[in-house]
Amino acid sequence: MVATESDIFNEESFWPTFLNDLKYANTSVIISCPFVRRWRLGRLAPEIKELVRKGCSVCFFIQTPSSIRKEKGALSPDEETELYNYERDIEIIESWSVHLTKRPKAHQKFAVIDGRKLWEGSLNILSHRDSVEHMRRFESVFEAQRIIKFHDLGSCEVCATLKARYFVSSPDAALQVQMLSRLIQNNRKARNLSLRRLGTASGVAFQRIGQMEKTMHMSALIPVLQVLNALDLRMVICQNDDLNSLLKAIDLKNSM
């Protein structure tokens, strides 16, 4: 295989070129980075918020800390601090309407811009401060798509929600609640709506919507329907035997 031409950067030369790439991004930005830190997030905030404002999809893939899988009473002081910082940083990212995917043990460091500019190397884009690093930049659709496919960076749930036309619920009641909660959250993020904005649009308290997204307070149907209506979604109920014919009828109607 012929090597693809790339440019080499260190921790100092990386940032001006990378931020310039973000400035001119048109459709999508994918960043895979194990760690996030408030210090770096604060410096990236203007660029990321502007990308979201102009309609560019921004997807972060980050590592979930091992402490998140422990009971709170079993955490060491260091683990409690780690979990607190993680939850705080997640809130910052979600307030930007960034699409966030959390993966245990993930340690890859990439950025893919518009599906054709690839950054890869040792630098943690969402947490870097002053460490010495090495990064490569490729301007190649081939290299960018190889990384997206090999590391499954195309599996953003919010992007998938945007592409999906229908939601088919599960016969398992508990799983159905989880799926509906995720549907609400992903559609809200896909439309760049904060909890407060969706609360105003739906007439449902934003705190309650946040609880819905965590599978809480889903038993009351009217608030759920109000939220779905505000997201321009409709619930259709049918017999299992009629499901395939119903979807075909909807497809036919939408194509007319």
1 in any annotated domain: no
Same domain, yes or no: 134 and 56: yes
Same domain, yes or no: 142 and 203: no
Contact 86, 65 (CB under 8 A): yes
Task: Kindly give the confidence (pLDDT) of every residue in the chain, 256 residues in length, as a single tens digit, with 9 standing for 90 and above.
Answer: 445 678 999 999 999 999 999 999 999 999 999 999 999 999 999 999 999 989 899 999 999 887 666 666 677 888 888 888 888 998 899 889 899 999 988 999 999 999 999 999 999 999 999 999 999 999 999 999 999 999 999 988 888 777 776 777 777 788 888 888 888 988 888 777 889 999 999 999 999 999 998 888 788 888 988 999 998 888 877 777 777 777 777 665 544 3
Instruction: Classify 137 as helix, strand or coil.
Output: strand
2 in any annotated domain: no
73 in any annotated domain: yes
- Per-position DSSP letters for 186-206, written without gaps between them: HHHHHTT--HHHHHHHHTS-H
Nearest Cα neighbor of 62 from 15, 20, 110 is 110
Same domain, yes or no: 113 and 234: no
Per-residue pLDDT, 64? 87
Same domain, yes or no: 207 and 230: yes
CATH number at residue 231: 1.10.260.40
What is the CA angle 80-86-92, rounded to 5?
A: 140
Same domain, yes or no: 83 and 122: yes
* Boundary (domain end) residue, out of 101, 123, 156: 156
Q: Map tokens 């308290």 to a residue.
A: 205
Same domain, yes or no: 142 and 174: no
Q: Which residues contact 67 (CB under 8 A, 6 or more apart)?
A: 75, 79, 80, 82, 83
Same domain, yes or no: 68 and 125: yes
* Boundary (domain end) residue, out of 124, 156, 188: 156
Give the domain extent around 65: 7-156
Count of domains for the chain:
2
